[in-house]
Chains A and B, each alone.
Chain A
Amino acid sequence: MRRRRALWPYALASIVLFFGLWQGVVSAGLVSNFVLPSPVEVLDRLWTMANRPFAGFLIQEHLASSFLRFFYGFALAAIIGIPVGLAMGRFRLFEEFFTPLFESYRYIAPLAWVPFAALWFGTGIGGPIMVIFTGAFAPCVLNAYRGAQLVDRHLIEAAQTHGAGEFRIAREVLLPGALPSIVAGLRVSAGLGWQSLIGAELIVVSSGIGYVLVVGQQNLSPDIVMASMLVIGLTGLVIDYLLRFAEARVRAKWGAA
């Protein structure tokens, strides 16, 4: 494969420039630090929250509880969504049956499900998981569906004429054939799931990063709000990076084929 030029100096430059400007604007007194807390204040606050409980827990415990909810909801979406998508790609009947449902479902924002999520599964772990699920589900299904549609028809026929049943076709032909598309879908799905989770935590629960943000707002502490936003963004970045890595691995193995 062709080697790419190292681009990390640019990424670093963008971060330094951004935070430098931000700090500069606040230090110069152009805006009040109540309207916009400086990066140093935010980091300082973050450090405090990592050592002293806020809203009941340390910040890393909030993050852990958010991440756990995210993981369950995301895994559930993948475990249910991928087989449904593959089945839609394989059978016309499934396709016709599910397509209209998904086309309309896609337009309902995950946050719209919050009231029902709380009603059906409570505000502990069940409700938030359902909200993440509703955010992460559609891309899992759609990408598995499109991926399965793109699998060479001859491969499926070769499997059929060599005695493979539907289960084996799904596992050994459709799934690997659709894998690049599925992994790309998982990235989208993780992003939407993580976003939905924070939304859900704003409303329903009593722990988690989203909850910290709400409490910060209620306490009129912009630095806490900003600190939670920073944690949300960084965690999203890490999740995306991990899935990007998985995607690259899949492409390296599959792309050559």
Chain B
Amino acid sequence: MSDIHFEGVTKVFSRGGRPFTAIDGIDFHVADKQFISVVGPSGCGKTTLMRMVAGLDHPTAGSVAVAGREVTGPGPERAVVFQQFALFPWKTVYDNITFGMRSKGASRAERDEAVAYYLKLMKMEGTEDSYPHQLSGGMQQRVAIARSYAIDPGVLLMDEPFGALDAQTRTIMQEELVRLARVNPRTVLFITHSVEEAVYLADRVIVMGRNPGRIREVIDVAQTRDAEAWADHPIDDVMEMPSFTHLRGQVWRLLREEMGSDR
């Protein structure tokens, strides 16, 4: 059971000596194994929200609890996939994927098995001895995702993981992530700029507003997605289905209102 509980979460930064409220009193509950996308205009504090779950930032007021325990610092049960991949450049693919496993004391055999499993799943067999700079951006991010999955975290945090990839690679990665999430469901908090991506991947989409950062609306996708059997279609077809475009339009309108609100 790895649910996330936000309770009155507020984050105030000091910006140029003056306090700046990045997040203002967020209350929210993410159920175990639920995939949540977070979208919002820049400056709405979505990355800060994720970092507080990771334990890399701390709320000024309120609390974040994962699996009933308040978050006080970073830990392997809340692995983060970063936009910049953050692979260790001096480590091979094998050593990168197994970095977290070694923290947990996994045996050599377990590590071998995990690397073989993920490289096969991501069609990257034979790259275990390569260094990150020898791989394409898409492959690097696959390795980073495998590194996080490999430690079997209760919660997976993704901060615009596909933001640095080209459009084609991005589409492929979105499909793969859905596939991965199906064989290996996790509680996921997925931060993104892309509305399509948010709707396609998530069970629920959180739309955030800014000044101050808060939850504007939560849109349920799971019901429609299951009813329309998106999973049985390739991503391009899904994105042209009326059920998808309807939800996408809904998220878009909210976002546009948010962006216009302080102009």
* CB contacts between A and B, total, < 8 Å: 72
Choose, from A87-95, A155-163, A233-241, the stretch at the interface: A155-163
Residues of B within 8 A of A152 (CB): 84, 86
Query: Which of B56, B80, B88, B148 lies in contact with A172, CB distance below 8 A?
Result: B88
B43 close to chain A: CB less than 8 A: no
A168 and B90 contacting across the interface, CB-CB below 8 Å: no
Residues of A within 8 A of B91 (CB): 172
Least CB distance, B123 to chain A, in whole angstroms: 24
Residues of B within 8 A of A162 (CB): 76, 79, 99-100, 103, 147-148, 151
Residues of B within 8 A of A155 (CB): 86, 88
B88 and A161 contacting across the interface, CB-CB below 8 Å: no
A254 close to chain B: CB less than 8 A: yes
A257 and B79 contacting across the interface, CB-CB below 8 Å: no
A176 close to chain B: CB less than 8 A: yes
What CA separation (Å) do A16 and B243 show in the bound complex? Answer: 84
A3 close to chain B: CB less than 8 A: no
Known: A154-B86, A254-B90, A257-B132. A161 touches B103 (CB 8 A): no
Residues of B within 8 A of A172 (CB): 88, 91, 99
Least CB distance, A168 to chain B, in whole angstroms: 7
Residues of A within 8 A of B132 (CB): 257
B100 and A163 contacting across the interface, CB-CB below 8 Å: yes
B window 70-90: CB within 8 A of A: 73-76, 78-80, 82, 84, 86-90
B89 and A161 contacting across the interface, CB-CB below 8 Å: no
B88 and A157 contacting across the interface, CB-CB below 8 Å: no
Least CB distance, A148 to chain B, in whole angstroms: 14
Query: Which of B56, B100, B133 lies in contact with A257, CB distance below 8 A?
Result: B133
Residue of B nearest to A179 (CB): B90
Residues of B within 8 A of A176 (CB): 88, 90
Residues of A within 8 A of B114 (CB): none
B131 close to chain A: CB less than 8 A: yes
B15 close to chain A: CB less than 8 A: no
A7 close to chain B: CB less than 8 A: no
A164 close to chain B: CB less than 8 A: yes
Least CB distance, B100 to chain A, in whole angstroms: 3
Query: Which of A154, A165, A173, A254 lies in contact with B84, CB distance below 8 A?
Result: A154
B104 close to chain A: CB less than 8 A: yes
Residues of A within 8 A of B55 (CB): 160-161
Residues of B within 8 A of A154 (CB): 82, 84, 86
Residues of B within 8 A of A165 (CB): 103
Most buried by A among B54, B76, B89, B131: B89
Least CB distance, B46 to chain A, in whole angstroms: 17
Residues of A within 8 A of B88 (CB): 155, 158-159, 172-173, 176
Least CB distance, B196 to chain A, in whole angstroms: 26
B86 and A160 contacting across the interface, CB-CB below 8 Å: no
Residues of A within 8 A of B74 (CB): 157, 160-161
Least CB distance, B94 to chain A, in whole angstroms: 14
A11 close to chain B: CB less than 8 A: no
Known: A155-B86, A155-B88. A161 touches B76 (CB 8 A): yes
B151 and A257 contacting across the interface, CB-CB below 8 Å: no
Residue of A nearest to B103 (CB): A163
Most buried by B among A152, A172, A254, A257: A257
Residues of B within 8 A of A253 (CB): 90
A256 close to chain B: CB less than 8 A: yes
Query: Which of B78, B84, B133 lies in contact with A161, CB distance below 8 A?
Result: B78
B90 and A161 contacting across the interface, CB-CB below 8 Å: no
What CA separation (Å) do A152 and B89 show in the bound complex? Answer: 11
What CA separation (Å) do A172 and B90 show in the bound complex? Answer: 9
A window 87-107: CB within 8 A of B: none
Known: A155-B88, A257-B89. A161 touches B99 (CB 8 A): no
Residue of B nearest to A162 (CB): B100
A164 and B82 contacting across the interface, CB-CB below 8 Å: no
CB pairs A–B below 8 angstroms (16 shown)? A152-B84, A158-B87, A158-B147, A159-B88, A160-B56, A160-B73, A160-B74, A161-B75, A161-B79, A162-B99, A162-B148, A164-B99, A165-B103, A254-B89, A256-B131, A256-B133
The chain A residues found within 8 Å of chain B, CB to CB, are 152, 154-155, 157-165, 168, 172-173, 176-177, 253-254, 256-257
Closest 8 CB pairs of A and B: A163-B103, A163-B76, A257-B89, A162-B100, A160-B74, A158-B86, A154-B86, A161-B80
